[in-house]
Amino acid sequence: EARSRGKARLEGKDYVMQDGDVVEFRFNN
């Protein structure tokens, strides 16, 4: 669920960086 929400946030450009999500954000980007 965290990954799905992360991708949705990125598309909305309102991605909220949370613990752990930052790492996935860098790898996905």
The residues spanned by each domain of the chain are: 1-29
Kindly state the tokens that stand for 19: 């613990």
C-alpha 28/C-alpha 17 separation (Å) is 13
Q: Give the model's pLDDT for residue 27.
A: 59
5-28, pLDDT tens digit by residue? 666 666 655 555 566 666 665 656
Q: Give the model's pLDDT for residue 9.
A: 60
Specify the 3-state DSSP secondary structure of 5. helix
Specify the 3-state DSSP secondary structure of 16. coil
Global pTM value = 0.17
